[in-house]
Copies of this chain bind each other. A is one copy, B any other.
Amino acid sequence: MANPSLLILPGDGIGPEVMTEVRKVIDWYGTQGFPFDVSEDLVGGAAYDAHGAPLSDETMEKAQQVDAVLLGAVGGPKYDTLDFSVKPERGLLRLRKEMDLFANLRPAQCFDALADFSSLKKDVVAGLDIMIVRELTSGVYFGEPRGIITENNERVGINTQRYTESEIDRVARSAFDLAMKRGKKLCSMEKANVMESGILWRDVVTEVGKDYPEVELTHMYADAGAMQLTRWPKQFDVIVTDNLFGDLLSDLAAMLTGSLGMLPSASLGLPMANGRPKAMYEPVHGSAPDIAGQGKANPIACILSFAMALRYSFDLGTQADQLEAAVEKVLADGLRTADLLGEEGRDPVSTSEMGDAIVAAL
């Protein structure tokens, strides 16, 4: 049987440097009897510089062929003035849409060794472990009509929030499935008090819930959700929400943990012919152009994204656990990249020192 295939898209800013560390981890698994066929390509500003588009058709085609895509980060000030249609973000959005990666899994986990980093009180976040499932291929991100038109002599900006029953159904099922493997609690968030798309959302999620009688399903308005995440996040286990609310709420949840440089994500689609889901894995953090190329970036979020790939794409849960344990060990040993330095008075390790230490811990 052929080795499982990975397409690495390092992207912009710190993307390439953190991806270098992930490759060390991938290579290590290769020596342990889990070899991957790895190819690499361009996305975001890097792709724009090379091809005039943030994702070439060729790269898109490759992404469709592989077992999983690992993405670093996209964007940077250099590209801020580009037209909307060729901005780095469009490359990312194209991958999500054309691969139909409808379920975006964003764990917000607070690592014991780092609980002090949060702006929240330690007892509020210590041990936090929630999973946000964000719909990723529909809603206001992709709804038509959209654009800026002229009406009565002035410009009007238009976007459309649009959800079909089946779009809600499939992401709800992903969330319920996850809840079954976790604490069996699911909270669905929308604005059904204001938006008809929210009413449909609530309706369909409730309907799907009947197939999961063991899962305790609750509903919350998204504004109340933002409040409750801030007040007492541990009340949640799995949260399911739409693309736009998910964008804000998952970033909020990520920030609760205090260490953005630690958080991975998985974006999953339908099963391919080989049974594996279409999948892309990426860190939650951005391209951090201010520290790019200085060896300061924290590679952990990207390495943990590969751990999610082991778990969700390759059914290597034990190996994923092992990689996560290696990360916890280096943290417990006191290793910190610059972003993880509080008032402890430690010296930071570099991006590559952190990668090496994690491989050593493996």
Query: Which A residues have a C-beta under 8 Å from some C-beta of B?
Result: 84, 87, 89, 93, 119-121, 124, 140-141, 143, 146-148, 151, 154-166, 191, 193-201, 222-224, 226-227, 230-232, 244-245, 247-249, 251-252, 254-256, 260
Contact = CB atoms under 8 A, between A and B. Distances in A.
Contact of A248 (B157, B200, B226): B226
A198 B227 CA distance: 24
A138 to B, nearest CB: 10
Contacts of A196: 84, 146-148, 157-159
A194 B93 contact: yes
Contacts of A141: 194-195
Given A157-B201, A196-B84, A197-B159, A247 B230 contact: no
A148 B165 CA distance: 10
B226 A252 contact: yes
A140 B194 CA distance: 9
Copies in the complex: 2
A88 to B, nearest CB: 9
Given A89-B194, A155-B164, A191-B244, A227 B255 contact: yes
Contacts of A154: 164-166
23 contacts: A89-B193, A119-B120, A119-B121, A140-B161, A148-B199, A151-B164, A154-B164, A155-B165, A155-B200, A156-B165, A157-B196, A157-B197, A159-B160, A159-B195, A159-B197, A160-B161, A161-B161, A191-B244, A223-B247, A223-B251, A226-B255, A227-B260, A230-B256
Nearest to A165: B154
Contact of A227 (B158, B165, B223, B254): B254
